[in-house]
Structure 1
Amino acid sequence: MKIPPQETTFLRNLYATPADWQRDLFYSVVRAGHLHAGVEHRIQRETYPGHELILCLSGQGWVQVAGKKHEVGPQQLVWVNCHHPHAYGAVSKDPWEVYWVRAEGRSLDRISQLLEVRSMPVFAGFDAGQAAMEFGRSFDYLEGNRPCDAAHVNAAVSSIIAMAFDARLSDPDLIRPDLPMPVQKALEKMRLYFHQPIRVVELAQLAGMSESHFSRQFKAAIGTSPIDWLRRERINQAKRRLIESDDPVKEIARQVGYADQFFFSKDFKRMTKLTPTQFREEERQS
């Protein structure tokens, strides 16, 4: 019978302090490593900076978030948003061996919400071998001294996040395979009638819901509010018209549902960083 190790062994133990410009541009890893847990391995915190991505290589572990405990096995990935109370550790009869990184980045909170990691922190059904390679790549570049090493660490973390997305969106037991019907109806109406005045209350009535309940369900499914989605659809339609026609900007604004050219131009620049006229000129030259 295999005797579990009593002490946790760090096979690789890495620290990093990213520069401000690296934090602004990239996902930054501030702590990472490879450990073989002992029987009493356990981490418990109320709050801590960053997000931890943990790849179980062998053995068994567990993670507890939002008051619920989840089992973790080999070739599974754990995502912990450390800003919320959390705990994780090894199963004493078969302590896990893991790779882990603690990453920081402005979008990680939003991504973790989209992937519902508070209720489902464990990911399965992805290429664990490729994930292990990405963890290893982040370790190697984390120890580098070149300015470009930060970009390579960012690429490795981005690949791991992409695998989490792929695993979650590919598993019909963990996420809705289709958009809820009320959301589908709202999207269909906005795609067909983007050029007409549309209010959230009308979409909610179409869905047979209260306005607040509909807005919450739409944002949970799409990741943005109905009005923000409609604005972006109108800007997408305007882009095509700016390139394919010679219509004045004021007329294109009217065609896509803006009664006021000023508000159209303001939204357009906010979303594209260009005025409608600049966009037309740049795209026609390319």
Structure 2
Amino acid sequence: MSNSVIKQSFYRESLGFSALCTHQILRGGHIETTPDYKVSRKSVSGHEFIYCLNGAGWVVFGGKRHYVHKGQLVWLPVYGSHVHFPDPKRPWEIYWFRAEGGKLTKIMEFLQVHQQPTFLLEDNKRTVEIFQQVFEHMQQHSLLSDITCDQLISELLVMLLESRSEPDKITQDPVKHRGLTSLIYEIHSHYAEDWTVEKFAAHCQVSKSQLFRLFQSTFNQSPLKWLKHYRISQARRMLVESDDSISEVAYLIGYKDPLHFSRDFRNIVGISPSEFRKREAWG
């Protein structure tokens, strides 16, 4: 990174409140880059939101390269291979934070981020304020600060939807069934419990066959596969935020067998939990 200036850097330490929120902030900061600055990674946890304060830069993912100029925000799904770097003629100054949780992946697909990850927002002043307020609350370790960050991310998502979606599409929600919505919120708070298909169906007040149709149409996954992926997403967060052992993380997300957890983690993420933790520490 040579002479690039990291003006602010924040790493969210978990106090256990994040499980109560829809979205969790992992890291964030404020950087003034020089032409030789470059970030190149195979995979880290979550989604990064980068706002270009000055200058310009490039992001590369999914085999495509996208230009980002002053006043634009770029949504970068960093759980896959990605690169970002400044325009050498006018290196960018950026605010950024990384988050995960909620329906970020579903919203990303709805907004067709893989085709066009850049957004030009109408209210630049409020965009800057959102980033600054996120940074402020990342330094406060309380349930109130976590909930406030959650609300700020939701506000930013609304701004992204408004910037791109037609008015009649803004209110569309990937989860439309009331029982399924209730179930998803319940699992978000109690994902480590011993969930079964029978419990899923009972909570939704539907038959097993209806349950499978709901999950397939909403998430394109079976109920237990969806639960497995959600638990692994929580494990990725814990591996970043805590010093808990791999076995402890496995137990905290609902696995009784650490070897079973490690196998599922590798199948979904592509690397082992220990490799993921080491790679994220370098990210």
The answer to whether the superposition gives a TM-score over 0.5 is yes
Tell me the distance in 2 between the aligned counterparts of 1:168 and 1:7. Answer: 36
State the shift of 1:106 in Å: 3.6
Tell me the distance in 2 between the aligned counterparts of 1:117 and 1:18. Answer: 29
What residue is the counterpart of 1:54 in the other structure?
Answer: 50
Q: Any idea what the Cα deviations from partners look like across 1:145-195, whole Å, max 9, x if unmatched?
A: 33211111111111111111111215xxxxxx989xxxxxxxxxxxxxxxx
2:206 corresponds, among 250, 266, 270, to 266
Say if 2:13 and 2:141, in contact at 8 Å, map to a contact too.
no
Tell me the distance in 1 between the aligned counterparts of 2:31 and 2:205. Answer: 54
State the shift of 1:105 in Å: 0.9
State the shift of 1:57 in Å: 0.6
State the shift of 1:17 in Å: 2.4
State the shift of 1:24 in Å: 4.3
Secondary structure of the 1:144 match is: coil
> Does 2:24 match 1:28?
yes
2:120 corresponds, among 111, 119, 124, to 124
1:149 is aligned with what amino acid?
A: S
> Does 2:96 match 1:63?
no
Tell me the distance in 1 between the aligned counterparts of 2:205 and 2:12. Answer: 43
Secondary structure of the 2:59 match is: strand
Secondary structure of the 2:149 match is: helix
CA 1:104/1:18 → structure 2, altered by over 3 Å: closer, same or farther?
A: farther
Q: Any idea what the Cα deviations from partners look like across 1:225-267, whole Å, max 9, x if unmatched?
A: xxx97xx59xxxxxxxxxxxxxxxxxxxxxxxxxxxx9x9637
Tell me the distance in 1 between the aligned counterparts of 2:46 and 2:71. Answer: 23
1:81 is aligned with what amino acid?
A: P
State the shift of 1:136 in Å: 0.4
Say if 1:54 and 1:100, in contact at 8 Å, map to a contact too.
yes
2:35 corresponds, among 29, 35, 39, to 39
1:160 corresponds, among 136, 156, 161, to 156
CA 1:148/1:168 → structure 2, altered by over 3 Å: closer, same or farther?
A: same
What residue is the counterpart of 1:143 in the other structure?
Answer: 139
> Does 2:9 match 1:10?
no
Larger-Rg structure = 1
Tell me the distance in 2 between the aligned counterparts of 1:99 and 1:66. Answer: 23
Say if 1:126 and 1:166, in contact at 8 Å, map to a contact too.
no
Note the 1:225-264 alignment, pairs <5 A.
none
CA 1:265/1:22 → structure 2, altered by over 3 Å: closer, same or farther?
A: closer
Secondary structure of the 2:125 match is: helix
Tell me the distance in 2 between the aligned counterparts of 1:147 and 1:62. Answer: 36
Say if 1:18 and 1:28, in contact at 8 Å, map to a contact too.
no
State the shift of 1:18 in Å: 2.5
Identical residues among aligned pairs (%) = 26
Say if 1:7 and 1:39, in contact at 8 Å, map to a contact too.
no
1:88 corresponds, among 61, 84, 90, to 84
State the shift of 1:11 in Å: 1.2
What residue is the counterpart of 2:69 in the other structure?
Answer: 73
Tell me the distance in 2 between the aligned counterparts of 1:178 and 1:145. Answer: 39
Tell me how large the CA RMSD over aligned residues is: 3.1
Structure with the greater relative contact order (CA < 8 A, sep ≥ 6): 1 or 2? 2
Say if 1:53 and 1:101, in contact at 8 Å, map to a contact too.
yes
Tell me the distance in 2 between the aligned counterparts of 1:41 and 1:164. Answer: 27
Secondary structure of the 2:13 match is: coil
Tell me the distance in 2 between the aligned counterparts of 1:145 and 1:47. Answer: 27
Number of residue-to-residue matches in the alignment:
185
Secondary structure of the 1:41 match is: coil
Q: Any idea what the Cα deviations from partners look like across 1:77-135, whole Å, max 9, x if unmatched?
A: 00011111111111111000111001111421111111111111111143121100000
Moved more, 23-32 or 49-58: 23-32
